[in-house]
Amino acid sequence: MILKSIIYLFAIISITCAFSAFKTERAVNSHPEKLMKAIRKFTQSDETKGLACDACTGVVDTIQTMIKDGKKDEEIEDFLIKTCQDLKIEQNYVCNQIIHQFAPEAIFFLTHAIVTPAEICGAFIKDCGVSENPFDDIWPFEIPGGKPAPQPFPVVKNPMKKLRVLHLTDIHIDRNYSVGSEANCGYKKLINTDAFCCRVYPDDKEEDVRTVDKEKSVPAGYWGSPYKCDIPFRTFINAMEHISKNDKFDYIIVTGDLESHDIWDYTKSRTMTNIMNITSILNSYFPNTPIYQATGNHEGVPIDAMGPHSMPEYSTRGPQWLYNTFAQAWKRDLPASTQSGIKYRASYAVQPYQGLKLISLNTIYCSEVNLYNYLNQTDPDGTLQWLSDELLASEKIGQKVHIMSHIPPGESYCMKGWSYNFYRLVERFESTIMFIALGHTHKDHFEVYYENADVKGRAIQVNWIAPSLTTFADSNPAYRVYEFDGNYQGSTFTVLEAETYYTDIEKATEDVPPVWELEYKFTEEYDMSDLTPESFKELINKLKKDEKLFKVFYKNYHRKETKCDLICKDEVICKMKSARSHDKELFCGLL
């Protein structure tokens, strides 16, 4: 699924025209990736792709012409707002807000990028103007030589000491959560662009558009609802109270996305306040436990907008305000030496224990929704080069490395060139990198790396993708706890166990608070003797063959019973094998 719903906002509107012409009404999940999956199916259909291509190139050409003719940004925005509202892509309020939020960034991109309508539309509409996606270039990146001879991944049966680490990700607090509002919402007038539920919208007073054609109404619960909703503030507090009272950790990692999914209402001041507030709360519940954070894509304003220093107008359009906020918010548990790296690229390296380096990596520089990446994709702000240097320095002294970040490099959300080169770094430093923690998808799953990207060959590393604290979308809140071999002379710092805790949010009421419980332990649930990459490779094979075991996995994936047909199963298995984006044929051709 290629996510370009923001990057190609104009193109989406034009495709909507095509939907309208065919009088097609589809209920699409509000998550942008689900939206773009539906749009891609439409645009790649032989019956409709021609119309979609013509509509897309026509609208993009119109906007580029308006820019060349000196039209003001406000005039272009008014054109887009009217189109959005007339075609009922969303409620009038959301149309107005989302265009104002993203149009300036998109207009800036079209003004500075040397790109044609055919190239823009061809990036995600099959056979539309160009034979290859111009944004899928693999840019050159030098990998250090001198790789040590590969050794078997360490297996520790009787560790002298263990580290216990809490992983929180995708918290997504909705401070406008409204108890009793529609949880099972959907704007089915047309393509359901960005349905976000469990809150009251200004347009709801005029027309109950978010329950149109729905068979039933689901009132938003007091503590949350496993639909297209984020969690209320009280649920976050409840989770922190439970965790802090019932467990002890050596340190905590938080891998981004604190904001709610109302992307049309983001402001810099709101985001800064939210980052400082949530960090302060975390610090108050864990006053003596180090907390290490990484940025999520929802911290950008607009979403994912984190341009490198090389972009034009960096002083006014760049994310310096955000990186400065991170530096201030995160400083309690970080040495002063990390401040410059955070302020420059929102990345840093720290040594929690002797023999271990923890790297917080900004993967928004690989985001397909980060428009600024398209002006120059080559290693934004030298972040992969910085990572390579950190890994090489650790290798030279025998130090092990854990990487924490937000976007999994195997997700289509991550641009092909960046993902390709990150994969190469993981291969090169397979003896140094012991653990990679990620979030973003909101699901509980993993991705495996293979030597030479050969799924028949040796598995060398795993992306651990943790479940979200938010319920968005269609999941129960959860958090992850890892046990590592560590903090003694000769520690391997490998994962020994992974525990997932969750709450069945629909059982909680105003009088009965959420009950948090252990959902499963990884080794026990999947009958694994260890958590090495090779064991994950074997697990993939078991999940392909054992339908009962796969159903267990898919229940854990959402933290609730959810159906998954054969096509769904193939997609899920494919994700497990693909730690590199936009290479489905290579990694999944044997499915």
Annotated binding site for Zn(2+): which residue ranges? 170, 172, 257, 297, 406, 440, 442
Instruction: Report yes or no: 166 and 156 within 8 Å, Cβ to Cβ.
Output: no
Q: Would you call 204 helix, strand, or coil by DSSP?
A: helix
User: For 150-183, b where at least 16 C-beta lie within 10 A, e where not — what string?
Assistant: eeebeebeebeebbbbbbbbbbbbbeebbeebbb
Run of H or E residues at 518: strand 516-521
Burial of 522 (0-12, 13-18, 19+ CB in 10 A): buried
- Going through 245-320 in order, the beta strands assigned E by DSSP cover 251-254, 291-293
Q: Look up residue 443 and give its amino acid.
A: K
Q: Look up residue 78 and give its amino acid.
A: D
User: For 406-445, b where at least 16 C-beta lie within 10 A, e where not — what string?
Assistant: bbbbbbbbbbbbbbbbbbbbbbbbbbbbbbbbbbbbbbbb
> Which DSSP letter does residue 231 get?
B
C-alpha 384/C-alpha 347 separation (Å) is 11
Q: Look up residue 76 and give its amino acid.
A: I
Greatest Cα-to-Cα distance within the chain, rounded to the nearest angstrom:
71
Which residues sit opposite 404 in a β-bridge?
A: 360, 437
Instruction: Report yes or no: 472 and 261 within 8 Å, Cβ to Cβ.
Output: yes
C-alpha 307/C-alpha 381 separation (Å) is 9
DSSP string, 398-444: T-EEEEE-SS-TTSTTB-HHHHHHHHHHHHHTTTTEEEEEE-SS-S-
**Two structure tokens written together for 65:** 């012409």
C-alpha 457/C-alpha 521 separation (Å) is 27
**Two structure tokens written together for 268:** 């810099």
Run of H or E residues at 52: helix 49-68
C-alpha 454/C-alpha 564 separation (Å) is 27
Let me know the angle formed at the C-alpha of 350 by 531 and 342, rounded to the nearest 5 degrees.
Answer: 115
- Strands 162-168, 251-254: pairing is parallel
C-alpha 586/C-alpha 590 separation (Å) is 9
Number of H helices, E strands in the chain: 18, 12
Let me know the angle formed at the C-alpha of 553 by 552 and 559, rounded to the nearest 5 degrees.
Answer: 85
Burial of 472 (0-12, 13-18, 19+ CB in 10 A): buried
